[in-house]
Amino acid sequence: MMMKKNFPFAALLLSASPYLLAQAQDAAQTAAAQPAATTAAADATPDDIQKVVIVSTGSRGAQRTLVDTPVPIDIIGARELSKTGQATLDKALQFRVPSFNTVQTPVNDATSLLDPYEIRNMGPSRVLILINGKRKNSSALIYTQTSPGRGESGADISAIPPDAIKRIEVLRDGASAQYGSDAIAGVVNIILKDNAEGGSITARGGITHESDGKMGGLSLNQGLALGDRGFVNYTVDVSKINLSNRPGKVDAKGEAGDFGADLATQVQPFLTAHPDAGNINGSPATRAVKAEVNTRYDLSDTTSLYGNAAYINKKVNSFANYRTPYWRPTDYGLLHPAGSPYVGYVPTFVGTLDDYNATGGTKFMLGDWNADVSLTYGGNKQNYEVSNSVNRGMQDDYLAGKIKTPSPTRFDAGGVEFYHWVLNGDISKQLTKDVNFYAGTELRHENYETIAGDFASYYGSGADSYAGNSPQNSFPSSRSNYGAYAGATWDISPAFLVDATGRYEKYTDFGSAFVWKTSTRYKINEQFTLRGSASTGFRAPSLAQIYTQKAQYSFVAGGAIQVSGLVNNVSDAAAALQVPKLKAEKSNNITLGLGFKPDNNTSITLDYYNIKVKDRIVLSTEIKPTGVATNPLDVQLNKYGIVSASFFVNALTSRTEGIDYVASRKNIPLADGKLTLNLSGNYSLKNERDGAVNNPALIAAAGQSVLNPTTEALMFTSRPKFKTIIGADWDYKQLNLSLNNTVFGPTHFRNAGMDENLEVAFKTKTVTDFAVNYNLTPSMTLSFNVNNMFNVTPSWHFNALNSKGQAILDSKAIDPTYQLTPAQIQSNLVTFNGRYSMVTYDGSQFSQLGRTFAASLNYRF
């Protein structure tokens, strides 16, 4: 079998067969992933492995070893992912890549299906996800809550079963010229396992320190040979995670003031029995079934067929805020048993997600040219169900005799779906010993549809907690685009490399774009390397940003929950408000880096980045009437019956600037074992709006803006100012111990309704994770993780932005309505009277769940 070749022999044969290249990469990665006792048995040193593992991300030209790339790339192997003890891929990357951030939002509903993630604090829309180098479909979900990622969407990387992954390549640089739209902040390329024999079965379990959030999972991965010319590698993964709940203690005076309820007779008796007001928030219950297959077959030494496919079905059960009896005085007898006292109700939200993708292609020689032609199909469909709730307006109308149908208690709220077709054609040729030319084209067709809910879900103000999609707001949309690129890499000398690419894209709905990139690497000597890149990029407005239109429930400080409208960008209402048609975001990226490798066991890299994004798309704040009937804004809002409206708009220019650093020292002798020390981090020097907000004239004339402090903080300061990962990894015979400290820097929020002279600041915190891996036998490994072993949780405080803010914090005056000090009132505003006391309503920089335990047993065959 070809996978039996050792590394040196395989390296000699790389030019003979692309299949041998894949097998050599797999052998190198497998050896790198084994404990020291196993690695020692393989006839390859760590330096050999580094030279063999080829990086396929960041250039369309000839692939290069990691040490030769002119752009910063992180390589995370399968073993490193599994050692995090995290249940999903996005959470594993959170604790392995400093510039990658994600966290579960405190307010769930549809957002619970996919947590927002981003690279370099630039939002999920500006990260491109690839699977084996091919574009993965986006999620159909667009975030509309006041949480990080608001107004954006990204691909669902949590849909990839971790045991299907061979390694992940994270490009920390703009790459629109190579890959097209979305690759402004970086690219995550997920490389699937391709071994042609053997496999593993992994059983997983876990629990939180509060004895909730119980997790169980089972995964099977196996490689099968197709003769001696190919392979099929498949993975099946099933998992279930129970609810974790971290509610706060609710303030009675705040409740009485907000809801106009009597403190003594209504609020206090209920909160005495239910101190948390029955609220449920934390991490929702999730069930998932995932499957992935990867295959390749060599028809000859120069022609091969390849393909991969994945499918996930995920069901998430979350809860809305509990409707207390003084908030909702009745459920009309529909939810509580007859004869029992009414104590309120908690609506449930069940989201079902299907995510799928498949790629088929062929690589072949076209004369002296290397050619690759592929077709990708992928999609994401979500359906929403609300239960244990009431359409209050519908029931009122039924009781008044206006309609004949009473409100149900279960609602089909509709859903959303996105899918795309992508046809790629790529060619490359080594024109000379030093010059490699490459070119290619991409045809992409995208479809997005909002799916209508049942009549009861959207009648009037809709189901209490989540209004369904109405037919008038539910329709399909589509577009196509064509892209072509060309470039070349030139090894001017053994020390000096230049890579340049240009790309043209044409969209059917908004126009065209031309972008370029040039990158370079210069080896000063064997120890020092300089690298840098300059590029332009673009991000097309997503179909969801153009066409989404619906009613949205939101928390408003001091007023509980209210309904507002989101009008789509091409609607008559948007035109009446003088909202321009969306156009593509355009970026300018600069990266400068220094690498230092004094010996084979030590490496240090330092990279500076500067990213300017023009015409950045945001989901606006709510635009409301001024109260003057003759004001042109009021006239247009009244014409369309809009109480308040938000919309997507090219609102601003942003500037993001920072530093990434990585240092590693391996093979340090310690007690007859080998120790590896790692330090990596990201520090944001600047992440802010650059210049004035681009307000539509009608809105600006009314003294309003599409961007408020809440939205601006979510965009720029809701992710850590810095993040550092300090780790130690020790291999001793059959034992591996790993200790990682992740330092989450401060974050700042300007929560909705909060006084404009204050901000919420989350403190810098360090989360410590400990992992033990022990080889019980050569084919069986037992792992145990204690994540967040010191039970660190987010904590916040108010910062005064000026003297007025400080006066609020210092004041001891008692408000006559709330019987609270100004600072206490502000605290209730951002936590919904204490329901979200740990993370506030807008979220924090890391999880509120605290210490968790995980264990797994892996059997290899």
Paired tokens of 462: 């809709």
Would you state the pLDDT for residue 562? 45
pLDDT, tens only, 269-289 = 999 999 999 999 889 999 999
Which of the four pLDDT bands, split at 50, 70 and 90, describes residue 54?
A: low
Would you state the pLDDT for residue 802? 97
Q: What average pLDDT does this structure show over 295-320?
A: 96
Paired tokens of 140: 């159909």
Helices (H), 612-691: 632-639
Q: What share of the chain is helix, strand, coil (3-state, %, to 5)?
A: 20, 45, 35
Paired tokens of 664: 């590693």
pLDDT, tens only, 213-231 = 999 999 999 999 999 999 9
Share of the chain above pLDDT 90, in %: 80
Cα-atom radius of gyration of the chain, to the nearest Å? 28
Distance of CA 113 to the CA centre of its chain: 11
pLDDT at 293 over 80: yes
Which of the four pLDDT bands, split at 50, 70 and 90, describes residue 398?
A: very high
Q: What average pLDDT does this structure show over 138-142?
A: 93
Paired tokens of 830: 């951002």
Helices (H) then strands (E): counts for the chain:
18, 39
Which of the four pLDDT bands, split at 50, 70 and 90, describes residue 3?
A: very low
From residue 58, how far is each of 93, 127, 169, 188 by CA, in Å? 19, 13, 9, 10
Paired tokens of 122: 């630039």
pLDDT at 45 over 50: no
Q: How many whole angstroms separate alpha carbon 604 and alpha carbon 664?
A: 6
Q: Cβ distance 90 to 157 under 8 Å? A: yes
pLDDT at 721 over 50: yes
pLDDT at 728 over 80: yes
Q: How many whole angstroms separate alpha carbon 335 and alpha carbon 634?
A: 40
pLDDT at 660 over 50: yes
**Which of 49-58, 98-107, 769-778, 789-798 shows the lowest per-residue confidence on average (mean pLDDT)?**
49-58
Distance of CA 74 to the CA centre of its chain: 17
Q: At what angle do helices 822-831 and 803-810 cross, to 10 degrees?
A: 100
pLDDT, tens only, 65-111 = 455 678 888 899 988 998 999 988 999 999 999 999 988 777 667 77
pLDDT at 34 over 60: no
Would you state the pLDDT for residue 175? 93
Tell me how far apart the 2 most distant CA atoms of the chain are, in Å. 87
> Between 265 and 108, whose confidence is greater?
265
Q: How many whole angstroms separate alpha carbon 728 and alpha carbon 670?
A: 12
pLDDT at 499 over 60: yes
pLDDT, tens only, 520-544 = 999 999 999 999 999 999 999 999 9
Partner residues linked to 178 by β-bridges? none
Would you state the pLDDT for residue 47? 39
Q: What average pLDDT does this structure show over 459-482?
A: 92
pLDDT at 497 over 50: yes
Q: Cβ distance 690 to 612 under 8 Å? A: yes
Q: What average pLDDT does this structure show over 441-446?
A: 97
Nearest to 758 by CA among 715, 688, 811: 811
Share of the chain above pLDDT 70, in %: 90
Partner residues linked to 235 by β-bridges? 221, 292
Q: How many whole angstroms separate alpha carbon 685 and alpha carbon 716?
A: 12
Nearest to 259 by CA among 272, 270, 245, 273: 270
pTM of the predicted protein model? 0.90
**Which strands make up the sheet holding 645-646, listed edge to edge?**
550-556, 560-566, 645-646
Partner residues linked to 416 by β-bridges? 382, 450
Would you state the pLDDT for residue 71? 87
Which of the four pLDDT bands, split at 50, 70 and 90, describes residue 375?
A: very high
Q: Tell me, what amino acid is at 331? A: D
Helix (H) or strand (E) holding 808: helix 803-810
pLDDT, tens only, 508-517 = 988 899 999 9
Q: How many whole angstroms separate alpha carbon 751 and alpha carbon 537?
A: 32
Paired tokens of 440: 């290619």
Paired tokens of 102: 């994600």
Q: Cβ distance 476 to 449 under 8 Å? A: yes
pLDDT, tens only, 405-443 = 999 999 999 999 999 999 999 999 999 999 999 999 999
Return mean pLDDT, the chain.
Answer: 89
